[in-house]
Structure formats: structure tokens, C-alpha cells
């Protein structure tokens, strides 16, 4: 119970930092390419050949960005819990070595 409370607090703290950090992102970085994108730009290489349309994107404005951040945050927690529980269950069912 204590661990669950601590995790909830940690999740809230991370999302709060994300809310603040996203303000800085939109103020200073939203339009800038990352290192690989800049290298591609400088080499005159454009993105092509995508074979998959993702259901979501990160959004163009602050609110959309926050929303997709929260959706991704929850999705990652859910998938991580599922996978980690499966792995831990395997560990518990294995005989002691």
C-alpha cells in the first residue's frame, strides 16, 4: 500500500515536471530538429519510405502535447506493469537456484 502511494506520488511529480518542461519545450525547442534530423537536413536527405501510419502524433500545441504525453505515460506504465509482472511471475514459479 505504501509502495503504491509512493508510485502515485512519483507519477504525479513526473507529470508535473513534464507540464513545466513542456512550456520550455514550446518556448525554445519545438521547431528545432534533433541531431539525426539536423544531419539528414544538412545531407539533403528527406524522410521517405514510411510503411506505417501511427494512430497518434505528439501534437502541435501545448495542450495536445500534454494530452499525448499523458496518454503515452499511461500506456508505458500499463505495458511495463504487464511485462514486468509476467517476468516476475516466471521468477516466482521457477525453482530456487
Partner 1 sequence: MHIPDGLIWPLIMLVGWGIGITAVAIAARKCSRSLTNERIPTMAILAAGIFVAQMLNFPIIGGTTGHLLGATLATLIVGPWAAIIVMSIVIVIQGLLFGDGGILAMGLNLANMAVVAVAVSAVFLRLLKGVGTEAAVIVASWFSVFIAALICAVELAVSDLAAPGAYGIVWSLSMPFMLGLYSVIAIGEAIITASVAKYFMLVHPGLIATAKSAPEASA
The minimum distance between CB 37 and partner 1, in angstroms, equals: 8
Smallest separation (angstroms) from partner 1 to the CB of 90: 4
Compare residues 61 and 88 and give the one whose CB is closer to partner 1. Answer: 88
- Which residues are near partner 1 by CB under 8 A? 3-4, 6-7, 10-11, 14-15, 18, 21-22, 24-25, 28-36, 38-40, 42-43, 45, 47-58, 65, 68-69, 71-77, 79-81, 83-85, 87-88, 90-92, 94, 97
List C-alpha distances in Å: 90 to 77, 83, 87, 94, 96.
20, 11, 5, 6, 12
Range 4-19 burial, b when 16+ CB lie within 10 A, else e: eeeeeeeeeeeeeeee
Amino acid at each position: 500500500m505504501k509502495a503504491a502511494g509512493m508510485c502515485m506520488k512519483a507519477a504525479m511529480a513526473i507529470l508535473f515536471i513534464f507540464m513545466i518542461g513542456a512550456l520550455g519545450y514550446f518556448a525554445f525547442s519545438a521547431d528545432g530538429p534533433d541531431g539525426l534530423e539536423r544531419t539528414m537536413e544538412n545531407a539533403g536527405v528527406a524522410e521517405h519510405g514510411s510503411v506505417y501510419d501511427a494512430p497518434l502524433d505528439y501534437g502541435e500545441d501545448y495542450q495536445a502535447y500534454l494530452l499525448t504525453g499523458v496518454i503515452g505515460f499511461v500506456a508505458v506504465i500499463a505495458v511495463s506493469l504487464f511485462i514486468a509482472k509476467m517476468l516476475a511471475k516466471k521468477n516466482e514459479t521457477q525453482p530456487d537456484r
